[in-house]
Structure 1
Amino acid sequence: MKKIVSIGLLLASGIFPLLAQPSSEKATLSVISKAEYTPVKNQAATGTCWSFSTTSLVESQTIKNGLGEVDLSEMFTVRNIYTEKAKNYILRQGTAQFGPGGLGHDVIRAMATYGAVPESIYSGLPLGQKTHDHNKMDAQLKTYLDSLLKIRPIPADWMKGFQSILDDHLGKAPETFTYNEKPYTPKTFATEVLHFKPEDYVNITSFSHHPFYTSFILEAPDNFANGSYYNLPLDEMIKLTEHAVERGYSIMWDADVSNGCFKQNDGYALLWKGGKAPATISPEDEELKYDQQLRQSLYENLTTQDDHLMHLVGLEKSASGKKFFLVKNSWGDRGPFKGFIHVSQAYFAINTVSLVVPKAAIEKSLLTKLGIQ
């Protein structure tokens, strides 16, 4: 997520909407299929899109499983992952990345390890604060860790100081709480209310520098936990995504958005020729042809990076038959579609970095091919 914090700051400050933007024609997309989803949220001035997007996926999957709608705390997971990052940073003596970024598998692992809590129990907002702003917290955490690395030996209780900073900015995390008049711990809430199982989610990507139908550790700066992803040919990754949404499932989508083709304020992302949106945007605009080779070259020359993670919830088509994905963002209700953006298949093909997919959405033949039980 190389630029998402700066985007969050622009959004929070109100500067971003004042920038010159192309206009959009009235949407002419028809819905093929749409998953159920929870309301749009705003990550504001944070780099925690990975938690908002994947938490939204888990919320949708909870609805899909017939368990009802639950509003989950993104910041409970953020706190736990920051703690993991701190331990990793210290043990690697400052050579690892420490920052707000993360990937979808971090949320799945965090919920499996630490559990989950409702937003009403842990909002991560200090008293009187209405929107998230982690700029001071991120700086203080990094400064604290770097100061420790100048000491040998490092104090055995160094984590107390780290947790104190988190407490100041996010509030103390609950060890027990009451939800719908029943007592829970975060772990019992995850298992008993959400019926959460980490094995119910599969990490997917598509890059040709590793063998297809095998797994590999995705080379991305925010993959501090060395998460592995199953590697599919591009056409199969697209087919998997379409097939999942057609069956009423949703997907966590990790993509490059810091380019001239992702226009949240206009509601569309297309692979326009020249890499820039026209003055007037239409779903029928001509796009570049895509293939595995172009996708790979843009990844290897560092054009395509994991800027931002979102929640893919629908499949659509234009009047001419072009396919689009409906994507729920976490920048509040920005744009003509109130926080959603229509992403063309071509844009998706070139700019996708990774996916988190419910295992139940994947065809059994493909699971067998990947060696997933």
Structure 2
Amino acid sequence: MKKMTTLALVAIMALSASAAKKKAPAKDANKPVFTTIKENPITSIKDQNRSGTCWDYSTLSFFEAEILKATGKSYDLDESFVANKTYMDRAIQVVRFHGDCQFSQGGSAEDVLHTLKTHGIVPQGIMPFPGSLYGDSLNNFNEFFGQMEPYVAAIAKSSARKISNQWKVGLQGILDAYLGKCPEKFTFEGKEYTPKSFMASLGINLDDYVSITSYTHHPFYSTFAVEVQDNWRFPQSYNLPMDEMMRVIDNAVENGYTIAWGGDVSEEGFTRNGLAYAVDGKAAQSLAGSDMARWLNLAQDKKRNIIDSLGCKVPEVKPTQEMRQERFDNWELTDDHGMLIYGVAKDQYGKEYYLVKNSWGETGAYKGIWYMTKDYIALNTMDFLINKNAIPADIRKKLGI
């Protein structure tokens, strides 16, 4: 009887296992499976929340990685300090131009570099935590800029023949009310610093950083200010052919450096789930079925549904120098977002992607990390900040740096 019971139990278990196996969902061959090729150390994922400060978060993340590489020490640098200094500087320019330039939340990597050089920096925890001054748990610039934009516009467009400097006092009050007051001195880990002396203690040389871009409306191997509104300081970028621009990124990652990347994430191929592909729209539509409306006539969400269903088998365009220039000139390539490139991975079909740190918190399938194909980066890069020592020697020679 005991033997019969045991056999019955074994049979039931076998049937259950068989049924479970049948119910298991089939593997999606289109879902990417990544193998990391190179991954450089970075600091933790941050969340810019409802603020247009990707330029601030991504570039400070870049400098945190630079400090980590140079010294082995991990710091969390304060974005609010940079924003406080930057928005005052930008308002001053808008007033000088009598309002004939843009005042907005956006910025560039140059704003962070300029702040570090001119004002220094403080670690997180010295100034109020983002959002805490107005009862939020993270940044929310809706009310903040609702106050600040009309204030700056009123000064810049004033009909007065002469204005006083008191407008700066008023604006500083708004900045301090929403971001916190920047300290003149502070104590960190038992030592007293000024923002400038703290910056000097971090172990990096701020003269080591240069900006790279790639367009044909300026000569290669020369410098120019990329013509987008958030480059309001008119920083100079070195202009390289596209293939050499990509060599710089690959060389940097291979040699342990990260890249403060600025570019376009408004393309259909940039998903909210942590992937980015330089989608070939016509080929994608063909693969998805001939009964579908033409790709260009599809709504954005339907295009993204197709991309999600195709996964890593989504067909990509092959970027060219001419394509980059055309998209820049016709406004298709826009200056949307700043992120941090820090590694390289490949999927199960051998396609290579950059590991890219975002500043939207631990969102998406990869907890705040995006896998962006090399073709996507080649096609959608506006410019990027990099340590000049990460540039291949032959390209540095051509640039004279």
Give the counterpart of 1:235 among 243, 267, 275. Answer: 243
Per-residue displacement from partner, 1:327-363 (whole Å, max 9, x unpaired)? 1111111100001110011111111101111122112
Deviation readout 1:186-228 (Å, 9 max, x if unpaired): 0000011x12432111100001111111100110011110111
The 3 A distance-change label for structure 1 pair 43 and 281 is farther
Superposed CA deviations along residues 142-162 of structure 1, whole A, max 9, x for unmatched, are: 111122232331122221000
- Residue identity opposite 2:46 in structure 1: K
Name the counterpart of 1:138: 145
> Which of 93, 99, 117 matches 1:94?
99
- 2:233 is paired with a residue whose SS is coil
> Cα gap change, 1:297/1:45 in structure 2, threshold over 3 Å: closer, same or farther?
same
Indicate the residue corresponding to 2:400 in structure 1.
371
Q: Distance in 2 between matches of 1:28 and 1:281?
A: 14
Of 206, 209, 226, the match for 1:198: 206
Q: 1:282 is paired with a residue of what secondary structure?
A: helix
1:67 deviates by 3.9
Match 2:43 to one of 38, 55, 69: 38
**Distance in structure 2 (CA, Å) of the matches to 1:43 and 1:69:** 20
Structure 2: how far apart are the matches of 1:285 and 1:86? 44
Residues in 2 aligned to 1:237 and 1:291: alpha-carbon distance in whole angstroms: 12
Residue 28 of structure 1: CA displacement? Answer: 1.6
Cα displacement (A) at 1:92: 0.4
Deviation at 1:299, TM superposition (A): 0.6
Q: What's the offset of the Cα at 1:315?
A: 0.9
Which moves more between the two structures, 340-349 or 362-371? Answer: 362-371
Q: Which residue in the other structure is 1:119 paired with?
A: 124
Tell me the SS of whatever aligns to 1:78.
helix
8 Å Cα contact 1:284/1:318 also seen in 2: no
Q: CA deviation at 1:126?
A: 3.2
* Partners of 2:30 and 2:313 within 8 A in 1: no
Structure-to-structure mapping, 1:48-63, within 5 angstroms: 48-63=53-68
The 8 Å contact of residues 126 and 171 in structure 1, kept in 2 or not, is answered as no
Distance 1:225 1:62 in 2: 25
**Greater Cα shift, 166-175 or 267-276:** 267-276
**SS class of match (2:132):** coil
Secondary structure of 2:212's counterpart equals strand
SS at match of 2:57: helix
CA distance in 1, matches of 2:79, 2:46: 10
Structure 2 Cα separation of the partners of residues 333 and 79 of structure 1:
26
Output the CA distance in 2 between the equivalents of 1:224 and 1:196: 26
Q: Which runs of 5+ in 1 are unaligned?
A: 1-22
What TM-score, normalized by structure 1, do the two folds share? Answer: 0.90
Q: Which amino acid aligns with 2:88?
A: T
2:182 corresponds to 1:178: no
Match of 2:334 in 1: 305
Q: What is the rounded CA distance, in whole Å, between the counterparts of 2:236 and 2:207 in structure 1?
A: 13
Distance in 2, matches of 1:281 and 1:327, equals 21
Deviation at 1:364, TM superposition (A): 2.6
Q: Structure 1 residue 281: deviation in Å?
A: 4.1
By how many angstroms is 1:94 displaced?
A: 0.2
The alpha-carbon deviation at position 109 of structure 1 amounts to: 1.1
Determine if contact 1:24/1:281 at 8 Å carries over to the other structure: no
| Equivalent-residue separation in structure 1 for 2:280 and 2:30 (angstroms) | 18
* Higher fraction of helix: 2
Q: 1:101-112 counterparts in 2 under 5 A?
A: 101-112=106-117
Q: Deviations for 1:303-328, whole angstroms, at most 9, x for unmatched residues?
A: 00100011111111223322110111
Letter in 2 for 1:130: S
The question of 1:272 aligning with 2:279 is answered yes
Aligned-partner Cα distance in 2 for 1:176–1:156: 25
Match of 1:158 in 2: 167
CA distance in 2, matches of 1:156, 1:282: 56
Between the aligned partners of 2:250 and 2:44, the Cα distance in structure 1 is: 22
Q: TM-score, normalised by structure 2?
A: 0.84
Unaligned runs of 5+ in 2: 1-27, 282-294, 296-302
**SS of the residue aligned with 2:154?**
helix
Aligned residues: 348
**Bigger radius of gyration among the two:** 2
**Displacement of 1:124:** 4.1
Q: CA contact under 8 A between 1:125 and 1:171: conserved in structure 2?
A: no
Q: Is the 8 A contact 2:57 2:79 kept in 1?
A: yes
User: For 1:79-109, what per-residue CA distance to the aligned partner results, in whole angstroms no more than 9, with x for missing partners?
Assistant: 1110110110000000011011101111111
- Identity over the aligned pairs, expressed in percent? 38
**One-letter amino acid of the counterpart of residue 179, structure 2:** L
Asked whether the 8 Å contact 1:216–1:230 carries over to 2, the reply is yes
Deviation at 1:129, TM superposition (A): 2.7
Tell me the C-alpha RMSD between the 2 structures: 1.6
AA partner of residue 159 (structure 1):
K
Change (3 A) 1:67 1:175: farther
Structure 2 residue identity aligned to 1:56: S
Hey, what's the Cα distance between the residues in 1 that align with 2:256 and 2:99? 43
Distance 1:283 1:176 in 2: 51
- Determine the C-alpha separation between the residues in 1 that align with 2:250 and 2:47: 27
Aligned to 2:375: 346
Choose from 234, 237, 244 the match for 1:226: 234
Distance 1:301 1:94 in 2: 26
Question: In the alignment, what sits opposite 1:334?
Answer: 363
Instruction: Check conservation: 1:112, 1:197, Cα contact below 8 A.
Output: no
